[in-house]
Amino acid sequence: MRRIFFVFVACLFLKVSNAQQLSPTPPMGWMSWNFFAEKVNEKELKEIADAMVSSGMAKAGYQYIFIDDCWQGGRDNQNNIIPDPIKFPSGIKALADYVHSKGLKLGIYSDAAPLTCAGYTASLNFEEQDAKIFAAWGIDYLKYDYCGAPSDSNTAKIRYKKMADALRNSGRDIAFGVCEWGLRSPWLWAAQAGGQLWRITGDVRDKWKNLDTKRHPNQSGYGILDIVDYNAPLYPYAGPGHWNDMDMLVVGMYGKKGPSGDLGGVGCTDIEYQTQMGLWSMMCSPLATTNDLRNMNDKTKSILLNEEIIAISQDALGKQAERKISNDTLNVFVKPLANGDYAIAVLNRSGATQTFTINFTDLGLNDKYEIKDLWQHKIIGNGNKWKGIVEGHETKVFRLKNK
């Protein structure tokens, strides 16, 4: 009896450690959807992979090229899923080899129904076969969407588990992203079903916040602030190998037409983009950029390549920040770090510049700290409080070191 118990515990441990190994810290990369949408193709994905390296993004930790929807060309006469031959004339394996030769990883996309969200061939009832093909191509990650599937939670759990199991039996380590938009509380079941992360909302739009949907009925959709508010209470569910996915970074999109430009996605200011990068890092979301890496201005680069902010995202402790102060104007988030430091983020939700005083004891931090501003890369003070000016929609991120 005792032996059976030990074997059971060991199996559980192996399962958990396997999930952790697949995604010990939030995945970082670039996702094709908001930039290319249905125009995704091998030539430009290779250019993006080149730019990932030449821009310094790869060195900073961005690792994945995630192919999103619209790559599929149907099935062959043996039901093997195939890429669109015009978009991917050399096939996905050749692209994976290219991406791997650059030291990067390749992600792909499918859906738990017959067709994807954009109407392309998907994986329902072909889970084993598709997972084996993805493994043979050298795929490292699968984003699995939920368009065209029944709305109940039970079916979702079954369909996600079926694909997760198929990936585990495929012979290759393939991380698994659950994408049912948070509608069935995936933070309660997706890790157990085999996911390393799960989307918590519908699609991010390139905007600060949703407009009043009564007055602007066609402009619903999720802005940066909306997604922060959805994720704030979910901090207990994140940790190594299981993350709340806040969807793609829209940093550097500037309202470019495409999916993130729909539903009122008119573009954000650089301050707002900086807030997105800061809070996605504090909240342990995957960091999937979606802008054109081949043409980034200096400001976009400085936001995406801030290594001190990235260190907060990738901190080994893997604790999602908790929102400790929350009112209409001021939000303060606290994230404990592996070496005993704390990261804190001070968000001005209002459109006007504000002066804030933050007493660290109000955050449960009772010592004296050296305060480093991670956007300015400067030590800006010592002690147990901070007073300063925060612009409208700006987020300061500080690292506090115990003195």
Which spans of this chain sit near ligand GLA (rule: CB under 6 A)?
Answer: 33, 68-69, 116-118, 145, 179, 203
Residue 399, number of CB atoms within 10 A of its CB = 21
Give how far the C-alpha of residue 230 lies from the chain's centroid of Cα atoms, to the nearest Å: 14
Using CA atoms, how far apart are residues 326 and 228, in angstroms rounded to an integer? 12
**Is the Cβ of residue 110 or residue 281 nearer to ligand GLA in the bound state?**
110
401 near 369, Cβ under 8 Å? yes
**Is the Cβ of residue 144 or residue 369 nearer to ligand GLA in the bound state?**
144
396 - beta bridge partners?
Answer: 346
Minimum CB distance to ligand GLA, residue 380 (Å):
38
For 53, counting Cβ atoms within 10 Å of its Cβ (0-12 exposed, 13-18 middle, 19+ buried), the class is middle
Using CA atoms, how far apart are residues 170 and 374, in angstroms rounded to an integer? 42
Using CA atoms, how far apart are residues 222 and 202, in angstroms rounded to an integer? 7
Minimum CB distance to ligand GLA, residue 179 (Å):
5
Q: Are strands 385-390 and 354-359 parallel, antiparallel or unpaired?
A: antiparallel
Minimum CB distance to ligand GLA, residue 213 (Å):
18
**Is the Cβ of residue 148 or residue 388 nearer to ligand GLA in the bound state?**
148
Minimum CB distance to ligand GLA, residue 305 (Å):
24
DSSP assigned state of 195: -
315 near 93, Cβ under 8 Å? no
Residue of 296, 310, 321, 331 whose CA lies nearest to 377: 310
**Is the Cβ of residue 69 or residue 292 nearer to ligand GLA in the bound state?**
69
Using CA atoms, how far apart are residues 18 and 348, in angstroms rounded to an integer? 39
DSSP assigned state of 293: T
Minimum CB distance to ligand GLA, residue 146 (Å):
8
Minimum CB distance to ligand GLA, residue 316 (Å):
28
The catalytically annotated residue of 69, 84, 111, 145 is: 145
Indicate if 203 belongs to the active site. yes
Minimum CB distance to ligand GLA, residue 123 (Å):
14
DSSP assigned state of 264: T
**Is the Cβ of residue 110 or residue 274 nearer to ligand GLA in the bound state?**
110
Indicate if 270 belongs to the active site. no
User: Quick one: three-class SS letters along 337-378?
Assistant: CCCCCEEEEEEECCCCCEEEEEEHHHHCCCCCEEEEECCCCE
- Helix/strand/coil percentages in the chain, nearest 5: 35, 25, 40
Kindly give, in sequence order, each residue whose CB lies less than 8 Å from that of residue 90, ignoring residues fewer than 6 positions away.
42
**Is the Cβ of residue 144 or residue 375 nearer to ligand GLA in the bound state?**
144
The one-letter amino acid code at 227 reads I
φ/ψ (deg, to 5) at 68:
-95, -155
The catalytically annotated residue of 68, 84, 130, 203 is: 203
**Is the Cβ of residue 28 or residue 117 nearer to ligand GLA in the bound state?**
117
**What positions carry a catalytic annotation?**
145, 203
